[in-house]
A and B are shown apart, each in its own frame.
Chain A
């Protein structure tokens, strides 16, 4: 019996010690991280995955990669492209050859040197990898090193998004030894401004980056240390912000008031557009959708302003375009193309030969439950009867991409205009499930690709709005919350700011 009471006493002691340890920490338990400007602590919405640049993603996860991997080019918060590891870049006259001149003073953190053959190896590694963005180098036909620090990318066709991609994931450079080593997925080795400190990193909990002492442009990165904590739960992110444990994180419209009341800085940046993808534009499944007037009727049928105000709390901007307001294809004048006008919708349906409307099957997706009911009802009000068919959460994307639904609600993260055309507009784009194409649109796209001018892109946009290929409602705001001790510059076309958009507040 002695044993029992000893065990009991130990248990009591342990419990007491636990409580005492808690009380003993009378001063704030988490050290204030931002006051010195030494450490930047970010809360991330998703955990890191692979460290192989070939698997690098735009969006949330790019923040994990940017401290370790430098890219060939650089992109500013104004979307300007600047030299970076490539000190110079030049296209030939018809945009099918890109010549990159590289810096000669760059060393990877494992001591390997950076040169043209390394850049070529990295680009080929990215292109032949199975990452989600391997396709961004799809237009690159061959890569030729024309000197120790010069290489030429031969393109099968002009790629107006190439420079931007080379400034982000597609241009990230890993050490040649690491490319060969086979451990890149779990151990990053780059030439970036920081090094992942494995001793101070706990996977799934905290990623710590310390300065790369050999870095060629340290002045561009003011913090001595960057810590990224994956906090997948919004409440946990807000609590960590309010308790001073992190300096910045992504939030949402509903938490803006709470964040402001706690003395935090709140900034917004236009993000995804939400609305209807009308994809059966040849009427394969639902013949009515082949008529542009029917698709226009869908644009008139839904009270986008009402949904934006009531459900998105006004955090966004009404639009009729699929292109991001910061992109070269955007044209402000087009936003007044369709207003909420159910009578006009009915008239257009009647004109198209559907005075009694028609029936269409649309997915019932849990993630869009808040906007779905009202949209389906408003479509019903003009005579378009929606039969909602449930889709399991983990199968939404694959079901939509299979072309099962002739039209559906979606939230699309538009970015670079050419990138969006490749993903949702071109006849072979994954989100053009029925491979719709018209000679006029093909010609407009070809001009935009060859010339890359704003006018040419806006012409594509105008066609899509007029022909009502989609029924966008609004671009909603991304909400980013930060401590007043950190100055954050928002980044268009990415859900979170890039790592170089952070600085200590003055």
Chain B
């Protein structure tokens, strides 16, 4: 287990390094001029040159990369070219927003998908048909469209929930939750649909296994059979799907953050990229890759804990 963890962590570090290096090179060699982007259309060449010098853009790419890497290894990701704010301060205010959105969405997905998927698999009949139809519709609806409909109905017409904005959980947990209701529904509806299908399929598969029949014959209570044996066995594939969903949700959050004006990493990524704010882009890439590595690791450990067969040496 320790060896496995070490190996995964090492490959994670390599991955982060590779992604950051590639981003740096692609952004630096793409030919855009961040100094011009900052100063706008009215600035003279002399102004642009002065700005570029201030940002250090007049130095060779490899030199700038070396400086960035040396700083990053010490946890210093520099300052935004546009706001002058330390990049890590920005990340620290934005990461909780995206994490709130995505982790609540994944939690809601897990709970609802397991309930719906297992109910459909065990009961079959009308509830199964309902879940099947919901899954197709939920999967087909684009989440920005769902978001717009939800805002129009619940925020604009009924005025039950806010249309935009985010309150940090430390400021007011109630407002935090209220603000997340619509974004989470919009973001999670597709993942609930597809994960419920996955759980349903896996549960049906397990229910038809010999050991289930044997357990039933031994008189194990149905609830115990379902939750202790079937769910545990069906959870493996569902977990894998969830980990993929989590990563998918991170990118889906970009659109949702825009529609609901949530100040998360997604909207920061869009702004930073269109402006060419390299220090911010690099920090976002590092954080995103780190998240993916960590989530995958957690899922691997969870899967091994749930199912000894999936454990690695």
A interface vs B, CB < 8 Å? 1, 4-5, 8, 11-12, 14-15, 17-19, 21-23, 25-26, 28-30, 47-50, 52, 57, 130-135, 185-186, 202-206, 229-233, 235-236, 239-240, 242-245, 262, 392-395, 397-398, 401, 423, 428, 430-431
Candidates B37, B43, B44, B163; contact of A240 at CB < 8 Å: B163
> How far, in Å, is A249 (CB) from chain B's closest CB?
11
User: Is B19 at the interface (CB under 8 A from chain A)?
Assistant: no
B285 at the interface (CB under 8 A from A): no
Chain B residues contacting A185 (CB-CB under 8 Å) are 83-85
A229 B261 Cβ-Cβ under 8 A: yes
- Residue from A21, A242, A262 within 8 A of B178 (CB atoms): A21
Q: How far is the CA of A203 from the CA of B93 in the complex (A)?
A: 8
The residue in A8, A239, A240, A393 that gathers the most chain B C-beta atoms within 10 A of its C-beta is A239
Closest residue of A by beta carbon distance from B264: A204
CB of B37 within 8 A of CB of A186, answer: no
Name 29 A/B residue pairs within 8 A (Cβ), A-sorted.
A1-B228, A8-B111, A21-B174, A22-B161, A29-B162, A50-B83, A131-B39, A132-B39, A185-B84, A186-B85, A204-B90, A204-B94, A205-B166, A205-B261, A232-B258, A233-B261, A235-B148, A236-B260, A240-B163, A242-B163, A243-B162, A245-B165, A394-B276, A395-B31, A397-B36, A397-B40, A423-B42, A430-B42, A430-B44
Which residue of chain B has its CB nearest to the CB of A419? Answer: B42
**Chain B, interface size: which category?**
35 or more
> Is B143 part of the contact surface with A, judged by Cβ < 8 Å?
no
Q: Are A240 and B227 in contact (CB under 8 A)?
A: no
* Contact in complex: A17, B263 (CB < 8 Å): no
Q: How far, in whole Å, are A28 and B159 apart by their CA atoms in the complex? A: 5
User: In the complex the two chains form, what is the Cα distance from A393 to B161 in whole Å?
Assistant: 36
B82 within 8 A of A: yes
Query: Are B174 and A235 in contact, CB atoms less than 8 angstroms apart?
Result: no
Once the chains bind, are A57 and B40 in contact (CB under 8 Å)?
A: yes
Question: C-beta contact mask, B3-43 vs A, less than 8 Å → 1, else 0?
Answer: 00000000000000000000000000011110011111111
Q: How far is the CB of B112 from chain A (nearest CB, A)?
A: 7
Instruction: List the one stretch of B102-110, B195-203, B212-220, B288-296 in contact with chain A.
Output: B102-110
B107 touches A11 (CB 8 A): yes
- Residues from chain A with a CB closer than 8 A to the CB of B36 are 397-398, 401
| Structural contact, B108 and A18, CB atoms closer than 8 A | yes
B162: contacting residue among A30, A49, A186, A423, CB under 8 A: A30
Q: Which residue of B lies closest to A231 (CB)?
A: B261
Task: Give how many A-B residue pairs fall within 8 Å (CB-CB).
Answer: 180
Q: Nearest A residue to B42 by beta-carbon distance?
A: A423
* A47 adjacent to B271 (CB under 8 Å): yes
B141 within 8 A of A: no
Residues of A within 8 A of B165 (CB): 30, 205-206, 229, 240, 245
Residue-by-residue, is B154-169 near A (CB-CB < 8 Å gives 1, otherwise 0)? Answer: 0110011111111010
Q: Would you call B151 an interface residue if the criterion is a C-beta within 8 Å of the partner chain's C-beta atoms?
A: yes
Alpha-carbon distance between A30 and B175 when the two chains are bound, in angstroms? 10
Q: Which residues of A contact B45 (CB under 8 A)?
A: 401, 430
Are B47 and A135 interface neighbours, CB within 8 A?
yes
Closest-by-CB residue of A relative to B43 is A132
B69 contacts partner chain A, Cβ-Cβ < 8 Å: no
Contact B177–A236 (Cβ < 8 Å): no
Q: Decide: A22 and B271 in contact? CB cutoff 8 A.
A: no
Residues B40 and A132 in contact, CB atoms below 8 Å apart: yes
Closest chain-A Cβ to B70's Cβ sits at a distance in Å of: 23
Give the contacting residue for B161; candidates A25, A203, A233, A240; CB below 8 A: A25
List the A side residues contacting B175 at CB < 8 Å: 29
Q: Is the CB of B111 within 8 A of A12?
A: yes
Please state if B267 and A397 are interface contacts (CB–CB under 8 Å): no
Question: CB within 8 Å of A: which of B96-141?
Answer: 104, 107-108, 110-112, 114
Q: Which 6 A-B pairs have the closest CB atoms?
A: A185-B84, A204-B263, A205-B263, A22-B181, A243-B163, A21-B177
* Closest beta carbon of chain B to A435's beta carbon, Å: 12
Task: Identify which of B107, B160, B262, B267 contacts A26 (C-beta below 8 A).
Answer: B160
- Contacting residues, chain A, for B84 (C-beta < 8 A): 49-50, 52, 185-186
- B54: Cβ under 8 A from any A Cβ: yes
Q: A130-B50, A394-B30 are in contact. List 12 more A-B contacts (CB 8 A).
A: A18-B177, A18-B180, A29-B159, A30-B162, A50-B82, A135-B42, A202-B166, A205-B262, A206-B165, A229-B164, A229-B261, A397-B40
Given contacts A132-B38, A394-B276, contact A14 B156 (CB under 8 A): no
B184 within 8 Å of A by Cβ?
A: yes
**Complex alpha-carbon distance, A19 and B160, angstroms:** 12
Kindly state whether residue B206 has any CB partner on chain A within 8 Å: no
Q: Chain B residues near A394 (CB, 8 Å)?
A: 30, 32, 37, 274, 276
Q: How far is A8 from B111 in the complex, measured between Cα atoms in Å?
A: 7
Contact of A17 among B110, B177, B268 (CB under 8 A): B177
A363 CB to closest chain B CB (Å) equals: 14
Interface centre among B38, B151, B164, B228 (most CB of A within 10 A): B164
Q: Which residues of A sit under 8 angstroms from B37, Cβ to Cβ? A: 394, 397
Taken together as a complex, chains A and B put the C-alpha atoms of A48 and B104 apart, in Å, by 29
**Residues of chain B within 8 A of A431, CB atoms compared:** 41-42
Closest chain B CB from A240 CB (angstroms): 5
Contacts of B51 in A (CB 8 A): 130
A216 to B51, CA, bound (A): 36
B259 contacts partner chain A, Cβ-Cβ < 8 Å: yes
CB proximity of B286 to chain A, nearest CB, Å = 19
B65 → chain A, closest Cβ, in Å?
Answer: 20
Q: Is the pair B93, A202 in contact by a Cβ cutoff of 8 Å?
A: yes
